[in-house]
Amino acid sequence: MSIECPFCSIHKYIIENNLAFVIYDKYPVTEGHALIIPKRHVSDYFDTTDAEKKAMLDLAEEIRTIQLKEFSPDGFNVGINCGQAAGQTIYHVHMHVIPRYDGDMKDPAGGVRGVIPEKQKY
């Protein structure tokens, strides 16, 4: 039994370019949490082409502009989970652009280091 990729069947985007598209996360961490996804099915960011990487980064800039206008966040986390050990659960690469808001957590110091909570503070 094969499991169909949930990203390969999406055809309604917030924005797109020739190689990638942006959607809002179905299970957002914060208001405005977006995903940037290459149109080609590829599991790992490090297996994307240089053109796909550029397309994703270009869309990161564009969605940030939209998030600033629509949600007025105070900061952002940007990240990609590569592999099961890193927490990847959908094996079609996707970049998270997560708006952050003052007070959305008690002490955000350490940012993405919080993927291993006891290592977040240093």
What is the value of pTM for the model shown?
0.92
pLDDT for residue 39: 98
Is residue 19 a contact partner of residue 37, using CB atoms and an 8 Å limit?
Answer: no
Residue spans of the domains in the chain: they are 15-103
pLDDT for residue 119: 67
pLDDT for residue 2: 47
How far is it, in rounded angstroms, from Cα 51 to Cα 32? 26
Q: Which residues contact residue 120 at a Cβ distance below 8 angstroms, ignoring those fewer than 6 apart?
A: 109, 110, 111, 113, 114
Extract the tokens encoding 69: 């206008």
pLDDT in tens, the chain (122 residues): 346 899 999 999 999 999 999 999 999 999 999 999 999 999 999 999 999 999 999 999 999 999 999 999 999 999 999 999 999 999 999 999 999 999 998 888 888 877 777 767 77
Q: Show the CA angle centred on residue 21, arms to residues 101 and 54, nearest 5°.
A: 90
Task: Specify the fold of 15-103.
Answer: HIT family, subunit A (3.30.428)
What residues are annotated to the active site? 94
Please state, in angstroms and as integers, the Cα–Cα distance from residue 22 to each residue in 7, 38, 100, 121, following that order: 11, 9, 18, 32
pLDDT for residue 58: 98
